[in-house]
Amino acid sequence: MTVALYVLHLGALLLLPILVIGVINRTRAIWAGRRGPPLLQTWFDLRRLLRKQPVYSEVTTSVFRVGPLVVLASALASGAFVPMLRDFAPWPLGFDFVAVAYLWGLGRMAMMLAALDAGSSFEGMGASREATYGALVEPALFLALGTLALVTGGTSFSQLMNVGFGDPARAVIVIGCAVALLIVLQAEAARVPVDDPATHLELTMIHEVMILDHSGPELAALQYSAAMKLTVCAALVASLLNPVPAQFGAVAVAGANLALTLVVAIVVGLIEGLVARLKLSAIPQYLTVAVVAAFVALLAATWLRGGAA
Amino acid sequence: MTQVLIAAGVLIAGAALALLLRNNVHRAWAALASQAVATVLVESVAVPTLLEGTDWRGTLRWSYPAEAIAAHLDPLSAFFLSWSLPMTLLGTLYALGYLRPYFKTRNAGPQFALLNITSLSFLLIYTIETATVFLLGWEIAAVAAWLLVIWDYPNQKIRFAGFNYLVSTHVGFFVLVAAFMLMHAHTGSMDFEAFAQFLRAPSPLRGVTFVTLVVAFGLKSAFFPFHTWLPRAHSAAPAHVSALMSGVIHKAGLFGLLRFTLLMGQPEEWMGWALIAFSAHSAVIAVAYTTAQRDLKRLLGYSSTENVGIVGMGIGLGYLGLAWHRPALVALGFTGAILHIVNHAFFKCLLFYAAGSVYRATHLIDLERLGGLARKVPWTAAFFLLGGAAISGLPPFNGFVSELLLYAGFLNGGVPAGVERIALIIAAAVLALVGGISMLAMTRAFGVTFLGAPRDASVHAEADSSKSMRAAMAVCALGVVLVGLMPAAALRVIGPAAALFTRLLPGGGDVGAANALVASTVTPVNVAAGLFLGLLGALLLVRRMLAGSQPAPRHVTWGCGYTAVSPRMQYSGTSFSLQFVGVFEAVLKLLKRVKLPQGPFPAKGSHLNTTCVDSVEQKMFESLGHSENLARRIASLVSAEPTASFAVGLLALAAIAAVALARGGLP
């Protein structure tokens, strides 16, 4: 039983990202009246990139080459703590969510430095934007996680997800945190309305412009880790919203969670289809929405706990 | 304690030798050798005290004005001694390389002698518990630091920065004297043990004393808004002095805060909240300032204010734990704070040393003119990157360990539900914001200085840092890595110092349980570091296997179709943080000097120059100017006749006396 969960988690961490990107792109395409690329297009792209020989810029140092691997290693390492099947993580520890946030921070720093290493104005621009939004999104993440810790009394990331929908206060908490995490997803994984991965103009990009100079396996590592982060965030939202009761069995809960993750991917795709990318100067305000949503959840949580205590 | 006395003698002898010898290299070695001997002597007492948690008190007989000097060596003093002296020794080693270019033309003896005197002041501050002698140590450290800062005294800017520091540190000194006077007035003694009697009993004056002490120690450790002297002094001083001031000397303020916490016993709840609010404010504003600095050392100076803010948040959390009788919060808050103090010493010294190496190689410290140094000075670049990652609290380095302890405290289930819980969750979010902004600032500092292409063709990077500078950096780097990889060992060492605070709990607290809690809290550090390093190693291997036999082709950076790119087009330090500065424009004031190109054929000489000014300092100077005008106007009202002036003075005195009498008589 448990072994099945480990296998499912590993599969979700390593393979689901490919499908999630496919689902988002397909949703966007259908919404725009196109057929869209195959669901497994990311897989073909990664395989092609791995076979390619990279070209390095003359100004780059080893930071440029090791950076993408640091990004991927940090995303993979955080996979040990993140609950992708509602309340299961392979290696739950007290306050491991702090480790996850900081591992992602390490990845972000490595990516920004690799971008700056190319010595191009475009890549510096992307790194600057990423640094700004990355710093502003941290408080929202910690407010949401702190709220969940308060409600559930848990300390490890997987325990935080057992909120449930028992009463109206819990519903407010779940929705508030889900909104906050969805916005964190859009910022961390560079999706519309924070960033548009399909734009063709470097001046408006964040994530894509940071990896302009990367090619071959390094580019594959960066694309793969971005997809992985996106999937983990989507799985977190799904875990919060997962309504299947625990008595149905862990595998049923896990299966429902994976399905819900794909639903979240469809929602992300729908938002991308419906909404235009925000003006860059409006993004800090949009990120404030995440902080406010998490804060509303925090107030609701205090109200709930205050009644109990 | 005999060893400490001998160490003091050795340090004084070393300082004298450094002044008397004729050759600069011999002077440096005299200081190094005497400090090494003193360090070994002090460690021989400090390490056993720290590891076994013993408590020793003694009295030294002296003459007027302090007949009996109380000495006290407990794990807290041992902790501060155990790293302050070796770090000063490292600073001296670095100075040997850093000052070498001046050796032919200048007498470096006073610098080395003053470094010895700085070590001596640590012996006084950390072991003496008689207020007058403690103040003497405090003053020696301040004046020595001032003299160290103005090494390049012919430069007017540097003299001004030094003077600014001297004034600020003495304002703090007077506030500290005021606090001691207050306690002396109520106890009739100058001994800290007597102060403790007064501080333990709740009274309104206890609160006043606490606030006065926090202001005095806050000025020493450069908490916001008492930080104005710091960025100037740090950018003016030689690199080893900036490093020692930021990482070691000014930690005396935090020592004072911790020492008086022990004397005070049970704090009140408001003190904890006040400390958290004050420190969080300090951390956020200072870290915002780090993003906008052009001067690499000024940037690191602001980052000191940020880090003492983080330490202060931990201490405040410990206060709340003591007030609420929650052992978990006491253990996590104080252990996190104490560990962060030594962590900060490691990475801040490392960063200042690396910044000093940049200055040695290029004679520049201005971000906007540097760039692409990683290929010229690879050692310095690697050390700076390590320090930058550690100061941002990233795993697997030491900053992450102390920050994780603080998060575990702020988000702890032991916090009373209600407004208290909300406030502490917000404090955790503030800490996360500080971490994120710090990462921005460090990415910018490292990226703009060391990566990309050189921005200014007129800047030539000479050779990488010399061996002695590299050795000092390597030791700091080792500390950064070891604490990050073996947090359990680090916690074992500082455990007895943190246990002192657990014992303040009613009933003496359960030290064993506190240690176990802290040790179990840091497990994610080991797991995250192990997983990350293992995976990174595996990925590097895979990458090597994927690579073909011939080296990858090199080409120019893709310019998105534009072919006439120049290195000046790269993102500069200012442009990197411009958007962020826009978010924080309420506190971050950018001063722009602009001359835009005009007309179809613009003449040469157009420029744009941006600097970030400190708004607190600006306000301070403005109000000083206003008060000067006010004083002048009042003075013009009083006639120049001496009798009239005396009459006004007499009237003022009479008015003060009348107010005092009306309030219930003089004490």
Instruction: Name the pTM for this structure.
Output: 0.94
CA-based nearest distance B90→chain A, Å: 29
Closest by CA position to B218, among listed B290, B183, B168, B164: B168
* pLDDT for A309 beyond 50: no
CB contact under 8 A, B432 and A142: yes
Contact call for residues B268 and B207 (beta carbons, < 8 A): yes
At B386-406, the pLDDT tens digits run 999 999 999 899 999 999 999
DSSP B249: I
> What residue type is A148 in one-letter code?
L
d(CA A183, CA A175): 12
Cβ-count burial of B55 within 10 angstroms (0-12 exposed, 13-18 middle, 19+ buried)?
middle
CB contact under 8 A, B557 and A119: yes
> What residue type is A5 in one-letter code?
L
Give me the percent of chain B exceeding a pLDDT of 70: 99
Tokens 């190496």, residue? B357
Contact call for residues B90 and B119 (beta carbons, < 8 A): no
d(CA B385, CA B346): 14
Tokens 């056993």, residue? B48
Assembly ipTM = 0.96
Q: Which of A203-207, B233-237, B324-328 has the least mean pLDDT? A: A203-207
- In angstroms, the Cα distances linking A58 to A70, B292, B375 are 21, 29, 11
Backbone angles phi, psi at B616, to 5 degrees: -65, -45
CB contact under 8 A, B413 and A155: yes
d(CA B103, CA B362): 19
CB contact under 8 A, B558 and A102: no
DSSP one-letter string for A195-231: --TT---GGG-SHHHHTTT--HHHHHHHHHHHHHHHH
- In angstroms, the Cα distances linking B451 to A60, A120, B93, B367, B655 are 8, 11, 28, 12, 66
Partner B contacted by A292 (CB < 8 A): no
Residues of B in contact with A127 (CB under 8 A): 443, 447, 571, 576
> Which of B398, B407, B523, B526 is the best residue to mutate to test the A interface, defined by the most A CB atoms within 10 Å of its own CB?
B407
Q: What is the mean pLDDT of residues A5-24?
A: 94
- The pLDDT value recorded for residue B664 is 62
- The pLDDT value recorded for residue B36 is 96
B590: confidence class by pLDDT, cuts 50, 70, 90 = confident
At B414-425, the pLDDT tens digits run 888 888 899 999
Q: Which residues pair with B613 in a beta bridge?
A: B589
At A175-202, the pLDDT tens digits run 999 999 999 999 988 888 888 887 767 7
User: H or E element: which one contains B591?
Assistant: strand B589-595
DSSP A57: E
B309: confidence class by pLDDT, cuts 50, 70, 90 = very high
CA-based nearest distance B430→chain A, Å: 6
Q: Which of A1-5, B18-22, B246-250 has the least mean pLDDT? A: A1-5
> What residue type is B289 in one-letter code?
Y
Asked whether the CA dihedral B397, B400, B405, B406 is positive or negative, the reply is: positive
Cα–chain center distance at B556: 42
Contact call for residues B267 and B258 (beta carbons, < 8 A): no
Query: Which A residues in the span 166-195 are in contact with B, Cβ-Cβ below 8 Å?
Result: none
- The pLDDT value recorded for residue A190 is 87
A306: confidence class by pLDDT, cuts 50, 70, 90 = low
CB contact under 8 A, A50 and B546: yes
Q: Which residues pair with A57 in a beta bridge?
A: B555
* pLDDT for B639 beyond 80: no
* pLDDT for B584 beyond 90: no
Residues of B in contact with A145 (CB under 8 A): 411
At A92-126, the pLDDT tens digits run 999 999 999 999 999 999 999 999 999 888 899 99
Q: Which residues pair with B591 in a beta bridge?
A: B611
**Chain A, chain B: beta-carbon pairs less than 8 Å apart:** 268
